[in-house]
Chains A and B, each alone.
Chain A
Amino acid sequence: MAGERVRESEPDGLSPEDYAALCDFLRDRTGLSFTEAKRYFVDRRVAARMQAVGATGLRAYLNLLRFQASGEELQRLVNLMTVNETYFFREKYQFDCLVNSVLDELVRDKPRGARLRIWSAGCATGEEPYSIAIMLLEHWRRVDDYEIELLASDIDSAVLERAREGIYDERALQGLPAHLRAKYFKPVRGTAEAGGPRWRIAEELRDSVDFSLVNIADPQQVRGFRGIDVIFCRNLLIYFDDLGRREAAGMFHDALAPGGFVCLGHSESMSRMSSLFVPRRFPDAILYQKPTDGGTP
């Protein structure tokens, strides 16, 4: 038990033993992995939460995280620990790949009217799934021939609420062409004075993305994701250790339909995580494909 190594915190931050115990706990419960290099980052956030709940020391706080029936405090800590830096059309070449190559390949053997399922895992405040929706509507000529289901998930409940609201500031919209901003966003009144102008994404798009709170390290929570055609999981697995990444890759493999694709962040490589997928080079990007036979040995 990690808790057995815990002693009460020192005023100047967590002791090495405490830090290790906390990291073990977080990795086990959430898949998130924090190295010694993240020490300052973790220390500050844990100290803030311990103060907020009035914990007398790390042992007491870990007990709260471990045994609180609602899981509310763990959720609050996770919300603080995950960084959500994103904007519309980030790494757009991957969305180009989706609409120029991947979707046409996926529907080659599907009848008109069939369903396609796209999952944005680690969607943060929603820019990624909404970008996918806009790309489909604007750039995939066969969008009306198929039923396209957009799923989006994150481990952070606070960002999901913001994703559902669909309100964004100038920085989030910086990569969006003006005509698309005009077409899919409306200015939010009264925000220009309070911290800069903000825009709300069209209701049609808010209604087309199904957001859910999911910890991808927990198979129970991922069970609802089956028969997925494309998974976007960009810059999320950087928070995981090697084994956690390998497990996540296995979970994606299970969630995908045969022949389905995973799209990772530009600095991530599936070949360093798992051998279950085949790299596929398209004109716009490299994606990773689940073999059509499921990869049977």
Chain B
Amino acid sequence: MGLVRKKSAAAPSGPAVPDAQAAPPVDPLAALEEADPSVRRDAAHGLGHAAPPGAVAALVRRLETEGDAGVREAILTALARIATDEAAAALLPFLDREDAALRNAALESLQQMPAGVAAPALLPLLRHADPDLRIFAVQGLGGLAHPGRADWLAAVLERDADVNVGLAAVEALAEAGSPEALSSLETLARRFPDDAFVAFAVDAARSSFNGG
């Protein structure tokens, strides 16, 4: 035993070339429902790179019931790659799930879409009744390279009634280090004067803007 001799001494084989005699190509939408998780994963990957009509709906339908972590991740990545308004909208309901891993992966998919697609989907969530969803919206918008980003976050600091949503915006602004957000930070500190953690977070953000 020990190191196994390689199978052949032939030159390295080239990439697989589609064979005219091979089995007919599988319908990727149908393959999403196959029993073998690898087949479902490959189908999702393929749909991400070439999405026929109905692809987003089929991917989301599969995601609702998918029990394999690898397939689930492939579906979420495919939706990020498709990156249409429909795909972005289809991800929003998953931000409200009990399953934290699914919530986070859906948010990551939104952040990996072009900002022009993800932002219009996330912005309405800033007005959602559930503060947890508003926090997700802040985190999502905070990770986008979009010219409106600083203004959206500043508006949250100035208006959102939930201190945790405001703190999420502080964190997003501090990560980006945009000094023009300083006045909005001061506003948050004034709005929640008795909250020690707000004072601490605003101080930390202030010093990061000042190169501290």
Contacts and interface: CB of A to CB of B under 8 A. Distances in A.
A297 interface: yes
Interface centre among B4, B9, B11, B17, by most chain A C-beta atoms within 10 angstroms, is: B4
A274 interface: yes
A133 interface: yes
A246 B112 contact: yes
A136 interface: yes
B34 to A, nearest CB: 14
Interface string A122-160: 000000000001001100000111111110000001001
Interface residues of A, number: 54
Given A164-B12, A214-B15, A215-B15, A253 B73 contact: yes
A75 B104 CA distance: 37
Contacts, number: 127
A297 B102 contact: yes
B101 A297 contact: yes
B42 A219 contact: yes
Interface string A216-252: 0011110100100000000000000011001101110
Given A276-B69, A294-B69, A242 B112 contact: yes
Contacts of A164: 11-12
A71 interface: yes
Contacts of A294: 68-70
Interface residues of B, number: 40
A292 interface: no
Given A28-B49, A296-B67, A137 B77 contact: no
B45 A213 contact: no
Contacts of B35: none
Contact of B1 (A146, A208, A214): A146
Give the one of B1, B38, B49, B77 with max A CB within 10 A. B1
Interface of A: 28, 71, 75, 113, 115, 133, 136-137, 143-150, 157, 160-161, 164, 204-205, 207-215, 218-221, 223, 226, 242-243, 246-247, 249-251, 253-254, 274-276, 291, 294-297
Interface of B: 1-7, 9, 11-17, 37-38, 41-42, 45-46, 48-49, 67-70, 72-74, 77, 80-81, 99, 101-102, 104-105, 108, 112
